[in-house]
Amino acid sequence: MKITGKKELIEIILEEIKKRGGISFKDFMDFALYYPSLGYYTSEKEKIGGYGDFFTSSELDPVFGQLLAKQFNEIYEKHFKDKKITIVEIGSGKGLLAYDILNEIKTKYPEFYDNVQFISIEKSTYHIDIQKQLLADFNVRWLEDLENLENIEGIIYSNELFDALPVHLIKKEKGKIYQLYLIEKSGEIQEDFRPASKEILEYLEELNIDIPEGMITEVNLLAKDLIQKIGEKLKKGFVFTIDYGYPSKELYKPYRMKGTLLCYYKHTYNENYYQNVGLQDITSHVNFSALVYYGKKSGLEFTGFTDQAHFLINLGLSDIMMELQEKGDYKSYERINRLKTLILPKGMGEKFKILIQHKNVENPDLTGLSILPPQNDRYKIEGV
């Protein structure tokens, strides 16, 4: 099997494979995405946007951040009025969503703004440098690791963070679960399925996941640790997780026999994780049932699970579109089309989900959850 991409990074990976007698797929993905200054996210390369490899909602239009700010203001008014509140974004990338949220809070909700402390937690120092320029007008503090965050009261949110965490690849064969390793044989890299680790088997058992025979799919143990840590850091408030993915019941349906792991490179996707190493993004769908289950272990209660379309419409997107329609000029017409992209079924509107959890909050009702999508396997989280 041939590995292509950044030469220096590939040499480091090969060296590690030789030294350890093989590395798990998760460790390979960790090297490919996060190896200091050589990984996809840690190196100086445009990733998000037209010159990058993929778009995020905030790249298209500020409305996503504006309506999130509206939702956050409701939380401030109901649960934190006249008190200091901390908003934390984890994995803020270029900082566009943070910019849209802070800009909206500052202009529309000045009293809320005066009480907000904003913290951006970003593992990539390349992205922190970009954020420092973009967010220079706001009161923001930066951290590289959630571990260094003090306990807070307020809101912790992320957008497309959990899908970017390195995952294990597992396979079921003759009823037994195996996990993928990369090994070296006569100077060549090869895939090697070994019996799955105790942690992986425990995860499958705790979540009641029984994948079909022959299926290859992902197990995201870092997501389990991360959501638990988020719950530990939050003393009172809400957690918003925005990402693509499903509850377990949908995620392991037989029509996903090859799992959900995909690579993004210059706005095209492929399934060859071993090409363009360090130059392409590798992502997998989020198991939202796992976030609910493990969140509970650190006191996070389930508030609701919805998709981007319902969330944005509940918060007033239709009114914004109506106002633009009434204006009737070309610029407004163009913007309406962009806004439609955010809510199209089968597109971003359904693909992106929003899981909301809360801790030590009474009456956690939120406008963004007032009308929910149909409660089928794609939206119904087991055990809530």
Ligand X SMILES: C[S@@+](CC[C@H](N)C(=O)[O-])C[C@H]1O[C@@H](n2cnc3c(N)ncnc32)[C@H](O)[C@@H]1O
Candidates 24, 56, 179, 217: give the one binding ligand X (CB under 6 A). Answer: 56
- Please, what is the minimum distance in Å from the beta carbon of residue 124 to ligand X? 4
One DSSP character per residue, 287-351 reads EHHHHHHHHHTTTPEEEEEEEHHHHHHHTTHHHHHHHHHHH--HHHHHHHHHHHHHH-TTTHHHH
Three-state DSSP class for 28? helix
Angle made by CA atoms 300, 301, 305, in degrees to the nearest 5: 110
3-state secondary structure of 140: strand
Least distance from C-beta 48 to ligand X, angstroms? 5
Does 161 sit near ligand X (CB under 6 A)?
Answer: yes
Angle of CA points 298, 304, 306, to nearest 5° = 130
| Strand 301-307 to 352-359 pairing | antiparallel
**In 10 A of CB 20, how many CB atoms?**
12
Q: Does 120 interact with ligand X (rule: CB under 6 A)?
A: no
For residue 41, state whether it binds ligand X (rule: CB under 6 A).
yes
Of 58, 103, 241, 303, the one binding ligand X by CB under 6 A: 58
Q: How far is the CB of 163 from ligand X (least distance, A)?
A: 7
Helix (H) or strand (E) holding 235: strand 234-246
| Contact between 238 and 155 (Cβ < 8 Å) | yes
Contacting ligand X (CB under 6 A), which of 6, 26, 127, 358? Answer: 127
Interface pick for ligand X out of 91, 259, 278, 295 (rule CB under 6 A): 91
Point out which span in 79-87, 116-124, 172-180, 365-373 binds ligand X (CB under 6 A). Answer: 116-124
Which span sits near ligand X by CB under 6 A: 87-95, 253-261, 286-294, 376-384? Answer: 87-95
Q: Find the binder of ligand X among 27, 53, 104, 160 (CB under 6 A).
A: 160
Helix (H) or strand (E) holding 24: strand 23-24
By beta-carbon proximity to ligand X, the closer residue of 97 and 156 is: 97
Report the residue from 104, 122, 218, 250 that binds ligand X according to the rule CB under 6 A.
122
64 belongs to the binding site for ligand X (CB under 6 A): no
Distance in Å, CB of 157 to ligand X, minimum: 9
Q: Measuring CA to CA, how many Å separate 114 from each of 85, 142, 153?
A: 10, 19, 16
Task: Give the shortest CB-122-to-ligand X separation in angstroms.
Answer: 5
- Decide whether 58 or 303 has the Cβ nearer to ligand X: 58
123 forms part of the interface with ligand X (CB under 6 A):
yes
Contact between 218 and ligand X by CB under 6 A: the answer reads no
Q: Which two tokens stand for residue 334?
A: 């163009």
Query: Which residue ranges make up the site for ligand X (CB under 6 A)?
Result: 41, 48, 56, 58, 90-94, 96-97, 121-124, 127, 146, 159-161, 164
